[in-house]
Structure 1
Amino acid sequence: MKRKIFLSTVVFLSIFLFFCAKPEKPVAKIGGNWVSFEQWQAFLNSNQFKDFDDQEKLNNAFESFIKRELAYERAKRKGLLAGRLWEDQKEKIERNTVIYNFILAKYLNGVSDPSEDEMYEVFKMDNARRHLWGVGVKGKENASEVANALKSGGDIEKIFEQHKSDLPNGPKSYDIGYPKFNEIPPEIQKVFFSGNDGDVIEPIQFSQDGYMVVVLKELQLPPKQEKYDQIVARKALGLRFQKAMSKCNDDYKNNFPDTYDNQIVSELLKNEKPTDEELNKTVGRVGSKTIKYANLLETYYSDMQKGVNLPRNEETFKKVFDKIVLETRVYLAGEKEGILKDKKVASEIWEKTHEAGASMCYQDFANEVAIKDEDLKNYYEKNINKFAGQGSYNLRYLLSKTPESLNNAVILFKKGAKWEDVLKSPGILPETDSGILGWKNQNEINSIMPSNISEKLMGIEKGKWLADKIGPDRLIAIYVEDKKQGEIYPFEQVRDKVKEFYIKENGIKLFEDFLQNEVKKSIKVETYPQNLK
């Protein structure tokens, strides 16, 4: 027993001395804690700083760094960096950083940017179209017979006529059209690019007794682009890492086997409001790591918030578990291969943890800071339209694939052309239909427009246009034909909202002043600017 206590004490002292010992090249000492050159570099890398030859910019960056570290130290001293939520956040930071760096180093040869071919693969998935024929059939046996008949060269038009009344909501024609990759079921996606013209896909069930027999026809591939936009690049990067993680998962399955208790999960799913005891129940393992029911729920609701509609059943939760297994196994692989011993990775984890801690300090400050009524009233009077009731807007719109087509149509409208003629302008898409939205209030606009557009639209004056992107190959131009302002609410009625907006616009400046004037008095700061390079 004494030996165990002695060893624990030695380990604790080793860790304590490691973090408290003066680094070889320190840049600061804040509240008794040394900050190394590697940690300073991690901060610069995180903020994509490259102007090392510009001393003024370097000094400004260092000033921001010191303020950030003061915020972190204050959060620590105030007890904000304690408890389960903070521990979970730290664990996520470490896991994600290890996964990223390990995959990058071992599977992507240190190259994070996707290649032209990888970006085209994503662009192709977003824009390629496949001509499809199909027959809706009642019953699996009948569907199999239809599939065999088509494979043998049967006339699809005649076969469709024989079965068109099988299903009340079945297709009205055997010609399905030219859907995109993301508009079709997974069964067709598997052969969307690889299947040959004339291939018949095995029957796909789409209702209780309804089946679809699909025939692949012409594949229309988009041309390669000279330059791809950020959306495509981001998707390609995600796909690149996803493939590498799958490879890593396969490589380390034997090292870190997983187990899953479907029976426990089935029982737990019956209770929509689980107790703390139920949340802490172990539902599976990956290597030495336990997966609790709370982990499944967290990932499930996280995916739901991203717009993924997932049924709450055993099948879904097994897929959620598999997703957790993938990430956990890659993390354990990185840990096994010593990625945490890499100084760069350790500094990156330190940087992200301190950024998260400083953010918590800011949120705490924003919740507690007192703003004088005089300042809030002045802000209210200067920005009174922000605190009005719902306004309404009389809107028209045009859809196109290119900015040139939109611009030409808008010019035509400004020259006095009839709206019907503007709709016929080259490049204006048929989906525009009448192009008239009519009067819409702010809630209605929010429900039909992406947030980036609806927010901008609030500031557009009567008689003006707003143009923006609404998808990978969709542009929209919106015309504000007329607008009506909502009711102006008195200051006392919207005081909390005024404070919220005031802090949103002025909070960072107030926080920096607070750090400079109040926190710095209680937290000792030493700097070593000679070590910044």
Structure 2
Amino acid sequence: MKLKSLSTAGSSLLIVTSLAFPVASQTSADSVLAKVGQQTINLGQFEAKLKSKNLFSSQRSLSSNLKKSILEEMIDDLLVERKAANYDFKGDQESQDRIKDHRNQVVADLLMKDLVDSQLSVSDSEVVVHYNANRETGYKTPEAVKIRQIFISLEKSDSRQAMPDNKEAHKQVLTKCKEIYKRLKKGVDFAQLAKAFSNHRSSSEGGEMGFVPRGELPPEVEKVVFEADPGLLTKAIQSSYGCHIVEVLEHRAEQYQDLTGTLQEAIRQTLTNQKKQARTRLVLDSLSKAYPPKFNQGAIDKLVSSQPTKEWLVRVGADTLKPEYFSTHFQKYLRDRRIQSSPASINAYLKGQADTLVFLAAARKIKLSNKPEVKTKLQKFKSDLAKQKIYQQRPPLEFNPSPPEVQLYYEKNKSKWREEKPVYVQHIVFPDSSRAGKVREELLAGLDFKEAALKYYPGEKEIREIAYDLGFISEIEMPQPFYQAALKLQPGDLSQPVKTEYGWHLIKLISRKDYKSLDQIDEEIRQILLEDKTKDTQSGWRTGLRKGTKIWINHELLDNFSGQMTGIQGLQQVQEGLAE
């Protein structure tokens, strides 16, 4: 077999060249992508890894660097798992305590399953009784209306004092709504206009708000939409928040939830949990008689008063809860429940620990810890803990990219961050090209664009005052001929007449910003640089991990893997060509 030495991620490895490994004539999920000692990584496993990271897509191909990075990660995982099998926790008291706690929890859960869970059952009749008893309070769906809306907020108006009682703000908002409403009546898509102009969070969904029950809409809007027939409302609605253009899609009357199979299972689970709680208390009371817990009240009082103590706190048989264990685990108990330390929380925690010790005493009596199920779960926990410890051996990263480093990366890669709304434009629309051409000559001769707009823009005076100024626009907000013409302009330029379905436009470019500014993406660039630095810093750890292990990678297969849904099937032709 032909071998050659290559440097990978800072480590000198023995890599078997792909020429020494015949390529199959057909590619499948079983096709070997890499060998790590005697273990293999196939395409199916590689695709599963991509899916777990949400990188498996039908829309895009993966970059070569990303594919290599994911494969390197999978190789690391195999080697860490191998090393974890023989990991020694000797001298690591914290890990030994965690292993002991986990074993106790597994044993207690198994006893709970035998004495509690196996005794629980909920009949169909119990489900029906519960449903009927709680039908009014728990299973009623209120009256609702399904709508979509375009909302223009008062806070987004040009007035600096855009408050509900500001007449100028209301006027500006209403004028904008009228202009949008006219576009709707001309047939422009509602969703498109909602995405472009709406200030509501539903704008990204084309204004779709789903079913909205009574009480969740502004009173002015609710009064109209709940009485309206399905369809676009005849006019915009003004509220104390702004202006609403609403389309009613569907009404839904108040109704009760049907007792479907899904609801039956949900009720069954609720009743099961209630029974489990009662059964657990009954079992604990019974076991506590056989294995009574003892509480060292003097030591507990010291804890409550925040005094130090070295005395035991709770004892059941041979098992004892000591202050060291309490101090380590009580804080986690508080965090998990988002509560503060208090006499009540201390006593509740100690009572729960006493219950656990009672279960463990009973489990020890019947030697539950010797069951294969317990040993299997404990071994998996130890393996996962060992892998966590090995990964923690990677050197910590202390790196903060300097402003010049961030600036340099931005200048080299700014094409990644193109603006969605790159051009700020003003326009005037005319019914014919002849009229547009004549006004263009006036503008070139010195006529102010705003004066021309107020004079020639169609519609009412209130509309002309704002409709000509479109601000920064995206590709979806205006017809393609308009947008493409605007893109070709430089600030201050005036276009030739441009024809769209609305008429002939004269477009003036006020300003443009083709790329996002460095301030906008500074943190994103810092994260990219940090990830690159992390790879370099951890190369030493990876070298030690791989020392003495032969690693082979099928580079042709990796390079030609698209990372798309049809990745494996698409590689069949590539593999056939390589085999020839």
Q: What TM-score does the superposition give when structure 2 sets the normalisation length?
A: 0.34
Q: What TM-score does the superposition give when structure 1 sets the normalisation length?
A: 0.37
Higher relative contact order (CA 8 A, sep 6+): 2
- Please tell me whether Structure 1 or Structure 2 has the larger radius of gyration of its CA atoms: 2
